[in-house]
Amino acid sequence: MTTDTTTVPLKRVVWVLGSLAVTSAGITLLFLGMRAVMDIGGFCAEGGPFVIAHPCPEGVPLLMIGGIWIGLIAAFVYAWASIGAGVPTFTGLLWPALFMSLGWNFLQYAFDPPGGGGVVYGWLIPGILFELMGGIPLWVMIKTVGLTPQRGARVRSVLAPPGTKAVATAMRAVIGSSTSAASRAPKPDMVSELERLDTLHRSGSLSDAEYEKAKRRLLA
Amino acid sequence: MTRDRITWIVLQTLAVAAGVWFAIWLYGKVAG
């Protein structure tokens, strides 16, 4: 089924966009809160019977904890809403966004710590680890399903049996050559041909223009 | 890439931008 903005109910559109916005806000709050804590040495504490050497920046613990939990719940809602609706989804980007942005904080503060001085290895190592934890899945994702996979289209083309591509190539050859033998051959069952074209089109093997051209030729 | 796909990606990119903007605003309000 080809999904577009007109076939997705408005309520679902609001869920997709709203939950994505809240997820982004959660990651951003965590990113900003982490920087505020790193500015005062990388840790802080509140309350308790002892004198606190590193009191937390005002409001930051609440924003960070709130950002984590609200962002996590919103991320699950977003995955459900976007994948369920069959629209292009950023779900796979959320993990790299989280780890690579926090990794950036570690790397930046490792090379340029607030108190000055040399490289802080205690922050450099987690920085590298975080970048790898975010970067490797991102690289694998780009190589396989792409940045914004879409249920039913992009993903299916990846999982499609190898024969599908051969059929699509043959179809292109038929479309490209008006005097080909295929065009002079007796026409197979038109309905099954149309269905096959539709499948190829939805799987992404045929572009919109190729699909329209092939369909016109078939119906002519 | 179909027009619908582009529309969805643009809309979702704007949603991300709105979320980031709101978080920066909220952070400035509470902890700034």
The minimal CB distance from A28 to the residues B8, B14, B20 is found for B20
CB contact under 8 A, A21 and B30: no
Residue A7 to residues A32, A85, B25, Cα–Cα distance (Å): 38, 9, 34
Q: DSSP alpha helices (H): ranges in chain A?
A: 10-39, 60-85, 91-111, 121-144, 154-159, 162-176, 181-184, 190-203, 208-219
CB atoms within 10 A of CB A28: 24
A27 vs A179: CA distance, rounded Å: 58
* CB-nearest partner of B22 from A4, A25, A90: A25
User: Which chain A residue is nearest to residue B30, measuring alpha carbons?
Assistant: A59
Q: What count of other Cβ atoms lies within 10 Å of the Cβ of residue B10?
A: 10
**Model pTM?**
0.68
Q: Which of A28, A58, A150 sits opposite B19 (nearest CB)?
A: A28
Instruction: Domain ranges for chain A, please list them.
Output: 10-164, 186-219
Three-class DSSP category at A84: helix
Span A61-90, pLDDT tens digits: 889 999 999 999 999 999 999 999 989 999
Nearest to A151 by CA among A51, A8, A6: A8
Using CB atoms within 10 Å of the CB of residue A88, give its burial: 0 to 12 exposed, 13 to 18 middle, 19+ buried: buried
Q: Which amino acid is at A203?
A: S
pLDDT digits (tens, 9 = 90+) for A111-170: 998 877 888 899 999 999 999 999 999 999 999 888 888 876 544 444 455 555 565 565
Tell me what ipTM this predicted complex has: 0.95
**Percentage with pLDDT > 90 across chain A:** 44
Average pLDDT over residues A1-10: 64
Q: Contact A29/A69 with Cβ under 8 angstroms? A: no
Confidence of residue A182 (pLDDT cuts 50, 70, 90): very low
User: CA–CA separation, A193 vs A195, rounded Å?
Assistant: 5
**DSSP element (H, E) containing A53:** none
Cα–Cα separations (whole angstroms), residue A201 to A105, A166, A192, A198: 44, 14, 14, 5
Eight-state DSSP code of residue A52: P
3-state secondary structure of A39: helix
Chain B residues inside the 8 Å CB shell of A29: 23, 26-27
Question: In Å, how far are A21, A23, A63, A124, A218 from B19, measured between CA atoms?
Answer: 4, 7, 14, 29, 48
